[in-house]
Amino acid sequence: MRILESKFVQGFIKMADDGYKQGWHERNGGNLSYRLKESEVESIRARLNAPGDWTPIGTSVPGLAGEFFMVTGTGKYFRNISVDPEVCVAIIELDDIGENYRIRWGLVEGGGPTSELPTHLMNHEVKKRVTGGRHRVIYHAHTTNTIALTFVLPLTDEVFTRELWEMATECPVVFPEGVGVIGWMVPGGRDIAIETSKLMEKYNVAIWAHHGMFCSGEDFDLTFGLMHTVEKSAEILIKVLSMSPTKLQTITPDNFRSLEKDFHVELPERFLYEK
Ligand code: 13P
Ligand code: ZN
């Protein structure tokens, strides 16, 4: 199977392009990773490059030992991914202790995987465990409206979740577990990876103050759709706050509770506090 013709590669490229068109990927902003299925690895194995040297990941992910990932390259622009994926994207393989990676395809003009590789892989490790292997996509984008909100809302999971839920009835259905928020940290290393992966134990969305968002999902559509839903809700909230500091009416805690039965979701009571 030609690697570029594989369905997962096509899905990866389309998602990157969709994110770019949303305006979430200025310059090299954002990164994307996909954990390959065993059948996908087998279908392309004959076309992978001979293994090169192992490079430290910068953290330890034993739960992902031996797995293959498609990842965006550090410094690569999302706007170029659909134009020249072999330059912008890599397939990497992890070693049998989950501490090193080697490039098996892509990045033909040189370079390495995204600087956020520790966060991507630590998120994948958590999600593989808590979803029984269902989640395969981790996506980081510089989502304009969500970033703007991190300057004016308290940086708590409770406030962000509740305010975002109130902006569109579908929000508590799309992310019933809520969203996690972390205050400003230096990106690109193990510390922010640890904090983000802790949030991924219970949420599928982690917001990085003054930086962007991470989403996790089963496939490209669900993960992109989640990011899109949160970011649209943030846009509505900004429009509301721009018109008036107070809301004349909104979706109430009891309204949310009545959604639970019909939409088969459980909404944690800690997000349904009285204001
Ligand atoms: P990379 O180019 O290394 O992927 O970094 C982009 C980014 O968004 C860092 O948070
Ligand atoms: Zn970023």
Whether 187 is in the pocket of ligand 1, judged by its Cβ within 6 Å, is: yes
For residue 222, what are the contacts with CB-CB under 8 A and spacing of at least 6? 137
Residue-level length of the chain: 275
Point out the ligand 1 atom lying closest to the alpha carbon of residue 187: 10
269 a catalytic residue: no
Q: Which domains does the chain have, with CATH numbers?
A: 1-115 (3.40.225.10), 142-275 (3.40.225.10)
Residues 25, 158: Cα–Cα separation, whole Å: 27
pLDDT at 73: 98
Neighbours of 142 (CB within 10 A): 19
Residues 222, 132: Cα–Cα separation, whole Å: 17
pLDDT at 1: 85
Residues 175, 159: Cα–Cα separation, whole Å: 14
Characterize the bridge pairing of strands 31-35 and 89-94: unpaired
pLDDT at 15: 98
pLDDT at 39: 98
Q: Can you give the pTM of this predicted structure?
A: 0.98
**Active-site choice (40, 116, 125, 163):** 116
Residues 247, 82: Cα–Cα separation, whole Å: 42
Determine the distance separating the centroid of ligand 2 and the alpha carbon of 31, expressed in angstroms: 7
Place of tokens 């990045």: 107
Residues 59, 72: Cα–Cα separation, whole Å: 18
Residues 176, 146: Cα–Cα separation, whole Å: 18
Characterize the bridge pairing of strands 180-182 and 205-208: parallel
- pLDDT by residue, tens only, the chain of 275 residues: 899 999 999 999 999 999 999 999 999 999 999 999 999 999 999 999 999 999 999 999 999 999 999 999 999 999 999 999 999 999 999 999 999 999 999 999 999 999 999 999 999 999 999 999 999 999 999 999 999 999 999 999 999 999 999 999 999 999 999 999 999 999 999 999 999 999 999 999 999 999 999 999 999 999 999 999 999 999 999 999 999 999 999 999 999 999 999 999 999 999 999 99
Whether 74 is in the pocket of ligand 1, judged by its Cβ within 6 Å, is: yes
Whether 119 is in the pocket of ligand 1, judged by its Cβ within 6 Å, is: no
pLDDT at 269: 98
pLDDT at 68: 99
